[in-house]
Amino acid sequence: MRLLGWVQSRITRWLAEEKLPAESVLCNFDQLQYEIRPCDVLLVEGVSRISEVIKTITHSSWSHSALYIGRLHDIADGELRDHVYRHYQGDPHEPLVIEALLGEGTIITPLSKYRGYHLRICRPKGLVPQDSQAVIRHALSHLGIDYDVRQLLDMARFLFPYHLIPRRWRSTLFQHNAGKPTATVCSSMIADAFTRVHYPILPVVRREGEGKLRFFKRNHRLFTPSDFDYSPYFEIIKYPVMGLDDLAVYRHLPWKDGLVCNDENDCYIQGDAAPRPLPGVIEGVAINLGLNGVEPQKQGGKP
């Protein structure tokens, strides 16, 4: 048993190992950290091996979700604040999220952990303050609960036509009270918290007699991170490294003319009969964009 536990621990560590990305040029983390509000759902494009598995299962680039709970002093309930402090004893002024992670379970994490990642905020529209606190309270009740690997495997079965799967192999997600109450995954924990206050994410909607609509709660174990992005009840908020809030500001972006890139490490000259990689070109683009501490090049007095 001790050997089995050691093997499981090593595999878990290998799957969850993060290949830390370079500073993301897609997200302005400082602005996001300033604007995020308690009860916002943070979507993360992960870079670990398990993140790649989740992306494949969910057909989405969003592999992880976390619930922003604010700073310790943002939590109005004194008992709840003490509960958080027992699980997180760092800087009380640090912005915090609650999340479920493979190998760590449900924990409190500083928001700053995700600096450099591609991020997106999903904000529940019209959520009243008392329900916001109730959502956070329910999420915090999961602190210390294990990550449910079985649920992740169940979700993987949706890659195959359900009617072709032998009955004994079919997902337990459809069964009443299926799964262990002592385990969860990131998106199902957050979805469960919102459904507890009757806030819709992707409800089942039916039209009944006399044309009246009826909402039904969807099984929270079926939710994936991308469902918060897809939901019509969440505002999608993005903080790109260079915003386009000013009219026609895109006309003054420092584009590198004559180059086309497949990704950040594969660029070639446009129209070249035999495209060839141009090493170091991205570093040059980064400098022109002002991403290495250099201001963007100015054209006609405008950035």
Output the domain CATH number for residue 201. 3.90.1720.10
Q: What are the pLDDT digits (tens) for 172-215? A: 544 444 444 444 457 888 999 999 999 999 988 888 777 788 88
Beta strands 259-263 and 266-269: pairing type?
A: antiparallel
Looking at the structure, tell me whether residues 278 and 183 fall in a common domain.
no
What confidence score (pLDDT) does residue 174 get?
43
Task: Return the higher-pLDDT residue of 63 and 237.
Answer: 237
pTM of the predicted model, to two decimals? 0.69
Residue 298 lies in a domain: no
Residue 7 lies in a domain: yes
User: How many other β-carbons are positioned within 10 Å of the β-carbon of residue 135?
Assistant: 25
Distance CA 65, CA 249 (A): 32
Looking at the structure, tell me whether residues 114 and 258 fall in a common domain.
no
What confidence score (pLDDT) does residue 190 get?
94
Looking at the structure, tell me whether residues 221 and 259 fall in a common domain.
no
Residue 296 lies in a domain: no
Residue 111 lies in a domain: yes
Beta strands 146-147 and 183-184: pairing type?
A: parallel
Looking at the structure, tell me whether residues 194 and 268 fall in a common domain.
no
Its domain, for residue 186, covers: 2-237
- Residue 107 buriedness (CB in 10 A; 0-12 / 13-18 / 19+): middle
Given a cut of 70, whether residue 278 has pLDDT beyond it is no
Candidates 71, 65, 72; CA nearest to 41 is 65
Given a cut of 80, whether residue 85 has pLDDT beyond it is yes
Task: Determine the average pLDDT of the residues in 89-105.
Answer: 86
Beta strands 119-124 and 41-44: pairing type?
A: antiparallel
Residue 210 amino acid letter? E
What confidence score (pLDDT) does residue 291 get?
38
Looking at the structure, tell me whether residues 230 and 261 fall in a common domain.
no
Residue 243 lies in a domain: no
H or E element, residue 150: helix 149-156
Going by pLDDT thresholds of 50, 70 and 90, the confidence category of residue 234 is very high
Given a cut of 60, whether residue 6 has pLDDT beyond it is no
Looking at the structure, tell me whether residues 256 and 168 fall in a common domain.
no
Which among 177, 204, 237 is the end of a domain? 237
Average the pLDDT over each of 67-76, 126-135, 146-155 and give the range with the smallest value.
146-155
What confidence score (pLDDT) does residue 12 get?
53
Query: What is the total residue count of the chain?
Result: 303
What confidence score (pLDDT) does residue 223 get?
86
Residue 182 amino acid letter? T
Looking at the structure, tell me whether residues 109 and 140 fall in a common domain.
yes
Strands (E), 60-104: 64-70, 96-101
Given a cut of 80, whether residue 244 has pLDDT beyond it is no
Task: Return the higher-pLDDT residue of 212 and 243.
Answer: 212
* Count of domains forming the chain: 2
What confidence score (pLDDT) does residue 166 get?
57
Looking at the structure, tell me whether residues 231 and 253 fall in a common domain.
no
Q: What are the pLDDT digits (tens) for 259-277? A: 888 777 788 887 765 556 5
Q: What percent of the chain has pLDDT over 90?
A: 26
What confidence score (pLDDT) does residue 151 get?
52
Given a cut of 90, whether residue 235 has pLDDT beyond it is yes
Given a cut of 70, whether residue 116 has pLDDT beyond it is yes
